[in-house]
Amino acid sequence: MTSTSARRWRRRLPDTAITEAGAPTLARRLGRLDLTAMGVGTIVGAGIFVITGVAAAEKAGPAIILSFILAGTVCALVALCYSELAAMVPVSGSAYTYTYATLGEGPAFLVGWNLLLEFIIAGAAVAIGWSGTTVSALDSMFGITVPKALAAGPAEGGVVNLPAMLIIAAIVVVLVGEVTLTARITKALVTVTIGVLVLVVAVGAPHVDIGNWTPFAPFGLGGVIGGAAIAFFAFLGFDVVAASAEEARDPRRDVPFAIIGTVLIATLLYALVSAVLTGIAPFAELNNGAPIATAFGGLHIGWIGNVIVVASIIALSKGLLMVVYAQVRLMFAMCRDRLLPYGLAVTGKRSTPTRLTLVLGVLGAMVAGLLPIDIVVELVNIGALSAFAVVCVGVLVLRRMEPDRERPFRTPFVPLVPILALTGCALLATTLDALTWVRFAVWVLVGLAVYFGYGRKRSTLVEG
């Protein structure tokens, strides 16, 4: 397909995505270890410390172990599709950029719009989890009780979740610095996170009460699948790797490696930790935004329990850092394409989009301060599942339209893998609450209005 016909279709070709992206650009400073650490950092920090309790108590019970394995399997299939497109289109924007190169501008805008929902709400969910864990730790370790009015949103009987808002503010301060600072902090905190999860398994395993696993699947197969839909939130870190492609030194080689490695590492860790947590405490007691603190708080095992709680707080901080980083890079790409206000894409002397970081930080803080975690998590998942499904379609479409195009990484067993990934996304999406679909539909309608009322007329691909 020629560049002219691609423009009529409003499509940015994969081999011109870098040159047509335009200014401003981001500096390529991240290596393979940086990217893998950022992916593992997001998944392991943002998921296990927040949604294990929600998924176990409301959906799967102890069978949350199987839910994590199912969610990890679906994510691995999606990751293979992501990797092919990430290697072909190594610029910021993740699934938004890939869709721009395969299905065109309109679908790309909706994918980006839905990913914005995913990332903004995911950041809020992690901040809420951080708040719950920190408030619990202050009470158990120091006898400091934070009033509920300042530790929960209106829907949960409080006024505002102030700790959640404050941690987002602290993350924004870090992100306005150079990306190498973010990478260094992430690698250090990933080490802490992996260490605490190993400690959770090692210390918690002897205290497992097999009786807590009976019945193992109280909500049946539907509960396992529903739990996987919630657990899917825990695997969004590989999307952070994709979002950082423009800052990778060798994106065609290192981004696929980091995406796939991230999913495999996380699946193993989640299965082990969820088994221990549901064995230590009855699953119904874990749904409070801080499942690890709750489970170990009842063991009375002294300083080791306190170490685990403190390390959990550190890990959540790192997970939040990566989620906010990803949402900024996604919106940066959309603003640079002028589908959203271009002025927000301006980078400062540190080559980071400071304005966007501040704007999204304020928005995320408001969501975290006012919404409950169960609504937040389901909104994250429906936005992610829709975007991931489109990426899988993009692989199929591009293989059909342009089979001879260079692919530094090729998704294996096409069309089987993309079709299985699509089926998995659809299966998980059907378990989400009807009200979640209504909220999502409203968000999509707003996105369509923004695109046709603003972005389409100002796009960098407008001819003339």
Contacts of 369 (CB under 8 A, 6+ apart): 153, 160, 161, 162, 164, 165
Instruction: Quote the CA–CA distance of 204 and 298 in Å, as a whole number.
Output: 11
Domains of the chain and CATH, by start: 29-458 (1.20.1740.10)
Confidence of residue 5 (pLDDT cuts 50, 70, 90): very low
- Greater confidence (253 vs 389) lies with 389
Q: 3-class SS at 112?
A: helix
Confidence of residue 313 (pLDDT cuts 50, 70, 90): confident
Q: What is the pLDDT of residue 191?
A: 80
- Greater confidence (106 vs 13) lies with 106
pLDDT at 265 over 50: yes
pTM of this structure: 0.78
Instruction: Give DSSP secondary structure letters for 363-411.
Output: HHHHHHHHS-HHHHHHHHHHHHHHHHHHHHHHHHHHHHH-TTS--SS--
C-alpha separations of 123 from 261, 288, 339, 362 in Å: 23, 17, 23, 11
Confidence of residue 18 (pLDDT cuts 50, 70, 90): low
What would the pLDDT profile of 144-173 be if each residue is shown by its tens digit?
999 989 988 887 888 999 999 999 999 998
CB 56 within 8 A of CB 64: yes
Q: What is the pLDDT of residue 25?
A: 64
